[in-house]
Structure 1
């Protein structure tokens, strides 16, 4: 029974800690019949270019990094927000943190 309880707690903890991530692979570019490695990553949201080895935050609450032309981005707020009864969890785009608001009055915080 203790094992089942420990396993349940571990699963809940992992679910709360994970963030959504994605990887954008580089596009192969040929010049004069030779494959040219990419030296930049292009942010898919605002089109800005970033050098290999760089790390940046986007306006969409993502933390991105560029390595070997491959771009990896993860949500900065991560995990799952559990709102109390009668409340709804929303991500504040300025702070990139979850905030709780009343379902019956979305302008009022819980």
Structure 2
């Protein structure tokens, strides 16, 4: 259980800090010859039917396939803006970044480029 939580923490930090925005969790049968029928369990233990799609509370768009689960970030990260004057802030509810002035968060800043 502790190892699983540590791996989940490392994954969540690496997804947040990297520009690589997707990961794939392959199916791992219990023993040779086992056949996975109908659904796969994600890293949090939630079952998902094959060929379904969902959005996680971590703002990932996920899909379930017979080969495993694929998840990608559902938001762009602003990278080209005035970093001396402005700051990017992530809104978990909207699953989006906003770029605002450091001195006054009610004032938006112009963003010239973002990465997925």
Tell me, yes or no, whether TM beats 0.5. Answer: yes
Q: Which residue of 1 aligns with 2:29?
A: 28
TM-score, normalised relative to structure 1: 0.64
Gapped regions of structure 1 (runs ≥ 5): 1-17
Cα deviation digits, residues 40-99 of structure 1 (max 9, x gap): 23232x432110000000010000000014100000003544333411112210011111
User: How do 1:27-66 residues align onto structure 2 when only pairs under 5 Å count?
Assistant: 27-30=28-31, 34-44=33-43, 46-66=44-64
Cα deviation digits, residues 11-39 of structure 1 (max 9, x gap): xxxxxxx8600001111223xx6332353
- Which structure: larger Rg? 1
Aligned CA RMSD, in angstroms, stands at 2.4
Q: Provide the C-alpha distance between the structure 2 equivalents of 1:41 and 1:78, rounded to a whole number of angstroms.
A: 28
**For 2:34, what is the secondary structure of its paired residue?**
strand
Gapped regions of structure 2 (runs ≥ 5): 1-18, 109-116
TM-score, normalised relative to structure 2: 0.62
Aligned residues: 88
**For 2:80, what is the secondary structure of its paired residue?**
coil
Q: Provide the C-alpha distance between the structure 2 equivalents of 1:80 and 1:41, rounded to a whole number of angstroms.
A: 34
